[in-house]
Amino acid sequence: MTKPLDIVAQNVLWNRLISVCEEQANALMRAAFGAIVREAGDLSAGVFDASGMMLAQAVTGTPGHVNTMAASVNAMLKIVPPEQLKPGDALVTNDPWLGAGHVFDFVVVTPAFLNGKIIGYLASTSHIVDVGGRGWSAESASVFEEGVTIPVMHLRRGKQLNEDLLGIVTTNSRVPHEARGDILSLLTCNDTGVSRLIHLMDEYELRDLKEVASFIFGRSAAGTKSALARAPKGTYENCIQLDGYDKPIELRAKMTIADGRIDVDLSGSSKAVNRGINCPLNYSAAYAAFGIRALLTPEVPNNQASLDAITITAPPGLVVSAERPSPVSARHVIGQALPDLMLGCLEQALPGEVLAESSGALWTMSISGAGQTPFTSLNVALGGMGARPELDGISTTAFPSGVGAVSVEVSETAAPLIYHSKRFAPDTGGAGKYRGGLAQRIEIGSAIDEDMSLSAAAFERLTSGPSGRQGGKNGAAGKVTITDGTEINDKGLYKIPAGERLVLQTPGGGGFGDPLQRDRKAVARDLSHGLITEKVAQTVYQMTKIQTEETQ
């Protein structure tokens, strides 16, 4: 095509590129073996230009995967340069410091060729349930114990799979068939993306993506600069304390808002620890940037240009900037707390416009067989989202990760487990003019009356719940017990004896505004729906007994 594309065609192409990414992600979800990918959407997919800059991403996926992937492609191409790539080639790595922050996430990058030249790349990331080592836990003292690490290398050369690489992974995995299938599903999804991208370029008679890339990046940069201008210039600081492993951890941020950009310094945060809850800086930056963009630039598509306006820095060796060989298995405990850290800074810049704190870290339920029947089950329990300035928080929603839970039916089919109950936990959402989202209560036992093992690596906010804003009350802290009386208050490994059950209650979201300003009808509705108890209605919201009885 010789004549320039008009603005309508440019916008159509932009949306078509996003559609390519969605088809790519859907192909991954259909092909994946692991339920956490197939059912919960723990993945990312994106299309990149010929220089390795992210043009578009799939809506399906997590910020931690997407925003680390935005940097992964160029990092991988520095090790295997484009001139060494041929049609059909694909690169892979699960290096936490090049990929998505821990060894369970594999990144696959596939070049798209047109007329013998690379015109772009398709990349994807997903979680592989087991790659050896101690498995999914925070018990390791170094990354070397957490599983096999694959440096950047070819997963496929032309049409030839790298069976040596696949053999290393499957030999180290407790579920080799699933591990192989999940890695190959990444290859399949990228191939789908390449095919759709080339078809799109043929349709529009495009020789390359330069013109549409210039349009996307230009519009995104301008939109981001305009949106960031809503926040007053200045420097704002915030601190959040987490449970940690052996002792509490502090996350500190100094946010500087300047002309069209935001720079965040995390240097006041705690030092890295000798447990697997450390976070590489690439993953910290991914979630910190997401927290800022979620509030200030939600209408601007996520790509290289919109991400370039936000810089996250920290000196090496902190819990937010852990260096090799620090253990990093449960890095999302730290990473997924960073959006709330960012929002706390922005609350000072825009008081009254920022949602309350949410439950934060996704509660990963890693349960395995400790008896005669080996199995590994990976699922997630979801907490409450913080209340918003004009709306209640969303209940049992994985903010900021966006991951869904694997359904009870699928979980019970994949492993010998019984989910005895899974329901909202009343009174867990922080009270306020707008109530925080509710947590959930889940009770799980063995279907075969055998011992089970639990990794509590991701159970965070057990000490104190998410903070409310503007006079709103805190959300409830999480609670985990075993029916034999064991209370789980750290991130270690626990035995669930045969005949006993695991009982989890996730944290609730913080409330927003004075609870006494909450609409009386909303309080009555919450009471009638079982979201709050009569005690809370009377003592916190000061509903009279007559008013509460009228709702029953």
Q: What is the pTM of this model?
A: 0.95
Q: How far apart are CA 131 and CA 147, in angstroms?
A: 5
Q: What is the 3-state secondary structure (H, E, C) of 92-154?
A: EECCCCCCCCCCCEEEEEEEEEECCEEEEEEEEEEECCCCCCCCCCCCCCCHHHCCCCCCCEE
Q: What is the pLDDT of residue 544?
A: 79
Judge if the upstream peptide bond of residue 374 is cis by omega within 30 degrees of 0.
no
Closest among 243, 261, 260 to 312, alpha carbons compared: 261
Look up residue 517 and give its DSSP letter.
G
Instruction: Going from the first residue of the chain to its last (552 residues), give the mean pLDDT of each consecutive group of 10, the final group possibly shorter.
Output: 78 94 94 89 94 94 92 96 97 97 97 97 95 92 97 97 97 94 97 97 94 96 95 97 94 96 97 96 97 96 96 98 97 97 98 97 93 91 97 94 91 96 98 98 97 95 96 98 95 96 98 97 95 96 73 55
pLDDT of residue 546: 61
What pLDDT is stored for residue 60 in this prediction? Answer: 85
Query: From the CB of residue 369, how many other CB atoms can be counted at a distance below 10 Å?
Result: 18
| pLDDT given at position 551 | 57
C-alpha–C-alpha distance, residues 330 and 277, integer Å: 5
- For 160, counting Cβ atoms within 10 Å of its Cβ (0-12 exposed, 13-18 middle, 19+ buried), the class is exposed
What is the Cα–Cα distance from 237 to 87, expressed in whole angstroms?
49
Q: If you write DSSP's letter for every residue of 348-394 in order, what string do you get?
A: HHSTTSSPPP---S-EEEEEEE-SSS--EEEEEE--PPPPBTTBPPP
Taking the C-alpha atoms of residue 126 and residue 43, their distance in angstroms, rounded to an integer, is: 4
